[in-house]
Amino acid sequence: MKKIFFLLLIFLLTDAFFSQSKYFIYFKDKGGEKLEKNSQQYYEVMNTLSPRSIERRKKHLGEDIISIEDLPVNHNYIQVLEAKGCKIIHELKWLNAVSCYLTDLQKNEIVNLNFVKSVESVRKLSVPKFEISDEGFNRLNKIHNTNFDYGPSSAQIQLSDVQLLHNEGINGEGVIIGFLDAGFSYKTHPAFTQLTVLDEYDFVYSDDDVSNDGDASHGTAVLSLAAGFDEGELISPAFKSNYLLAKTEDIRTEKNIEEDNYAAGLEWMEAKGADIVSSSLGYSEFDSLQHSYTYKDMDGKTTVVARASNLAFQKGLVTVTSAGNEGNWPWRYITSPGDAINVITVGAVNSSNQIASFSSRGPTSDNRIKPEIVTMGVSCYAAASVSSGYSYINGTSASAPIVAGIIGQLLSVYPHLTNKKVRSIILESGDNSSNPNNEIGYGLLSAKRVVNFPNIFDSLNSTRIYKSYIPSSLVDNSKLTLQLKFGNSYQSVPMDYDGKLIYSAEIQNLITTDPVLFYFEYSDSLKNLVRDPLVGEYKLHYSDAIVSLTVGLESEVVPEDFYLYQNYPNPFNPKTNLKYFLKESNHVNLSIYNSLGELVKTLVDGIADKGIHELEWDGTDKFGRKISSGFYIAALKNGSKYSARKMIYIK
C-alpha cells in the first residue's frame, strides 16, 4: 500500500512539474535587423510570396509591398528556445512570435530572456455547431427566368439576388478564396465536381490533407455555400472561383481552433495569393479550463485572431467572418475575430429577412457597429459530408460564406478593386445602409446592388468611374451618361461600354480634396429616362477613391414647377400622408421605392390637375403585403424631373 501511495505521489509531482500548456512567445524585435529595399533580405522575403500575392499587394500598397512584419522570426532566438527544450509549433512572422508547449518551469525561465517581450497562453476558438433544420423541406424552391435550376438552394440564392449575377455569367471566375475551418470533405461530394482547390494544408497535423483526422462536416457545409455546384440541388455564388483550404481544428481538444493555427493559416493564405479569406469560427468565453477573453477584449485589437485579421487586411486581403451564434446565450455579443477593425462580420436572417434569434449582436466594446451585413442563415441548404448528401442548417456559419462568394463575384467583374473599396461597397449594398444598427448592421446584402454600385479606379493622371446595370437588358446602352457636378452645375459626360456589362468614363485631372457629386441618367428598355440614384447623389471621396450614396431631402428640382412635401407622420406606422403641388396640369408619377431603388408601389400614374394633392399610403407594397422596417423613398416625377423625400417605417 505504501509503495502504491509513493508511486502515485511521484506521478502527481511529475505531472505538476512537466505538464505542458500551449503558449505564444512574443519577441521584442527581429534581431535588430532593418528592412532595406532591394537588399538580399528584401528579395528573400519576396521569394516567400506567390506571384499572385505580389500582384495583390501592389494593387493595394503600390511598390512598397514588404514591411517589417514580413521579416521572418529571428532564427537565433528560435535556436535558444530549442536548446531549452522548446518544440516550436508555428513561427508567426506578422506577430513576431512563436507558439510552443511549455512547462511552468520552462515558462518561468523563458519569460526572463532578454529578447522575449512576453509569454501568453494560446486561447481557443470554437467551431459553432450547426442546427439541422427541417423548415426548408416544404419550401417552394423554383426561381423563374434563370439559367440554372437551383433546387432546394433557391431561397438563400434569391434572397440576395445571386441568380441575377449568374444570369450575366458572373460566377467568381479568376478569384482566389480561402477558407479556414475544421476540415473539408470535398473530393467525392457531388457539390464539388466543379471545385478547383489550388492548395490545402492541415495546421494541426502539419500535412497537406484537410479531409482526414477529423470531423469535416462543418467545413464541408461552409465551403459548399460559397463554392457548391450541383444543378437541381445546390448552386452557390462563386462556383468558378479557385480555393485555398486550411484545416485548423484539433479534434483532440474537443473541436477547438487554437489561435496560433488561425494566425498561421492567415499568413499561409496571404502568401499563396488569396483575394478573400472567410472563416466561420469564433472565440468562446465558456471554456473554464482556458484563459478567457472578456467582452472588454472585443475591441478589434486585443485577441490574437483579431490582430492577425487586421494585419491580413493591411496586406490587401478581404476578410469575412461569421458574427457568432450567441444571440440567445448570456454572452449575446459578436465573437472574435468578428470584432476586428476591417473584417466584414456577417449575421443571419431567415428567408423573410427577419433577424435570427441566435445571431450575435453588436456593438464591439469600443462601440463600433457589428455585424456589418446579414444574409440568410436559417434553413440554408448545404452539403453534408457524412452522407455525401445535403441538409438544411442554421447558423451564422452559413451566412458568412454566402457573403464571401458574393465578394468573389464582385472581384471577378472588377479585379481592380482594393479591399478597402470592397468593404465600402458591401456596406453601401445592404438594405439598411442609411440607418445601420447592431442587430443587422447595414442590412441584407444584395449581390445585384454590390455589382451595380459605382466604383473608382485611379491612375496617375486620371480617374475612371465604373458602373454596371444588372439585369443588363434593362438599359439602352446608347443613352447612358454620367452627370458630374463641377461647381454649382452638372456636366454631362458620355460613358464607354464594353459590349457586355460595364460602363466607364474617364475624368481627366480631377484633383481635389472635396467630395465630388455625380449621378447617372439612362433610358430603360421602354425608353423612359431614369435617374440613378433616384434621389440624392453618389459622392466620390477623392482622397481614398471611395464612393458613397448620399440621400438628401430631395433631388435638385425647380420648386416653382412642382413640389413634394415631407410625409407626415415620419417615422410612421401603419399609415402616412403624402402631399404634392403642381403649377400646371401634367402627367405625374408618384411611387414608393425601397433602399435598393426597387419599386415598392405606385400611388399615382396619370394626369393630375394643377394645385395641391393629398393622399394616404397604408404601408403596403403592390401585392398588398405589409412592408418591412426601414427607410423608403417617395418620388414624384414630372417629365424628366424628380422631387423625392426619405421616409422611415418602424414596427
Q: What is the CATH number of the domain that holds 613?
A: 2.60.40.4070
Regarding whether 477 and 396 lie in a shared domain, the answer is no
Domain residues for 510?
454-550
pLDDT for 333 beyond 80:
yes
Instruction: Identify the DSSP state of 623.
Output: T
Distance CA(373)–CA(399), nearest Å, equals 9
pLDDT for 132 beyond 80:
no
pLDDT in tens, 44-60: 899 999 999 999 999 98
- Structural domain count of the chain: 3
Q: What pLDDT, on the 0 to 100 scale, is given for residue 88?
A: 95
Domain edge (last residue) among 502, 518, 550: 550
**Torsion on CA atoms 580, 641, 541, 469, rounded to nearest 10:** 110
pLDDT in tens, 372-394: 999 999 999 999 876 779 999 99
Domain edge (last residue) among 509, 524, 550: 550
pLDDT for 564 beyond 80:
yes
Name, in order, each residue with C-beta under 8 angstroms of 239's C-beta and a sequence gap of 6 or more: 171, 172, 194, 195, 227, 228, 229
Of 197-201, 433-437, 532-536, 603-607, the one with minimum mean pLDDT is: 532-536
Handedness of CA 59, 64, 67, 71 (dihedral sign): positive
Distance CA(607)–CA(564), nearest Å, equals 16
555 located within any domain:
no
pLDDT in tens, 197-209: 999 999 988 899 9
Regarding whether 349 and 211 lie in a shared domain, the answer is yes
pLDDT for 319 beyond 80:
yes
> Average of pLDDT values for 466-480?
85
Regarding whether 447 and 458 lie in a shared domain, the answer is no
Higher pLDDT, 490 or 195: 195
371 located within any domain:
yes
Regarding whether 525 and 494 lie in a shared domain, the answer is yes
Q: What pLDDT, on the 0 to 100 scale, is given for residue 358?
A: 95
Regarding whether 461 and 408 lie in a shared domain, the answer is no
42 located within any domain:
no
pLDDT in tens, 68-78: 899 999 999 99
pLDDT for 485 beyond 90:
no
pLDDT for 33 beyond 80:
no
61 located within any domain:
no
Distance CA(235)–CA(409), nearest Å, equals 14
- Give phi and psi for 341, each to the nearest 5: -60, -50
- Give phi and psi for 408, each to the nearest 5: -60, -40
How many CA atoms are closer than 13 Å to the CA of 48, on its beta-carbon side?
A: 16
Regarding whether 431 and 371 lie in a shared domain, the answer is yes
Q: What pLDDT, on the 0 to 100 scale, is given for residue 10?
A: 39
How large is the C-alpha radius of gyration of the chain? Answer: 27
Higher pLDDT, 282 or 328: 328
Strand partners for 116: 27
Q: What pLDDT, on the 0 to 100 scale, is given for residue 496?
A: 93
pLDDT for 645 beyond 90:
no
Regarding whether 233 and 333 lie in a shared domain, the answer is yes
> Average of pLDDT values for 93-114?
95
pLDDT in tens, 621-635: 998 888 887 778 888
If pLDDT is split at 50, 70 and 90, which confidence band does 252 have?
low
Q: What pLDDT, on the 0 to 100 scale, is given for residue 558?
A: 38
> Average of pLDDT values for 384-405?
91
601 located within any domain:
yes
Please count the other Cβ atoms lying within 10 Å of the Cβ belonging to residue 354: 11
Q: What pLDDT, on the 0 to 100 scale, is given for residue 434?
A: 80
Distance CA(286)–CA(617), nearest Å, equals 50
Average pLDDT, the chain: 86
323 located within any domain:
yes
Regarding whether 576 and 446 lie in a shared domain, the answer is no
If pLDDT is split at 50, 70 and 90, which confidence band does 289 have?
very low
> Average of pLDDT values for 239-256?
80
Three-state secondary structure of 422-446: HHHHHHHCECCCCCCECCCECCEEC
Domain edge (last residue) among 432, 451, 470: 451
How many CA atoms are closer than 13 Å to the CA of 173, on its beta-carbon side?
A: 7
Instruction: Identify the DSSP state of 191.
Output: G
Regarding whether 330 and 182 lie in a shared domain, the answer is yes
Of 235-244, 339-348, 533-542, the one with minimum mean pLDDT is: 533-542
Q: What pLDDT, on the 0 to 100 scale, is given for residue 631?
A: 79
Of 346-360, 382-396, 557-571, the one with minimum mean pLDDT is: 557-571
Q: What pLDDT, on the 0 to 100 scale, is given for residue 557?
A: 37
CATH of the domain at 216: 3.40.50.200
Q: What pLDDT, on the 0 to 100 scale, is given for residue 561?
A: 72
Q: Considering the chain, what percentage of its residues have pLDDT values greater than 70?
A: 87
pLDDT for 11 beyond 80:
no
Of 327-336, 391-400, 454-463, 574-583, the one with minimum mean pLDDT is: 454-463
pLDDT for 3 beyond 50:
no
If pLDDT is split at 50, 70 and 90, which confidence band does 7 have?
very low
If pLDDT is split at 50, 70 and 90, which confidence band does 117 have?
very high
Regarding whether 234 and 201 lie in a shared domain, the answer is yes
Regarding whether 164 and 230 lie in a shared domain, the answer is yes
Distance CA(317)–CA(310), nearest Å, equals 9
Regarding whether 335 and 221 lie in a shared domain, the answer is yes
pTM: 0.85
97 located within any domain:
no
CATH of the domain at 480: 2.60.40.650
58 located within any domain:
no
pLDDT in tens, 423-447: 999 999 998 888 899 999 999 999 9
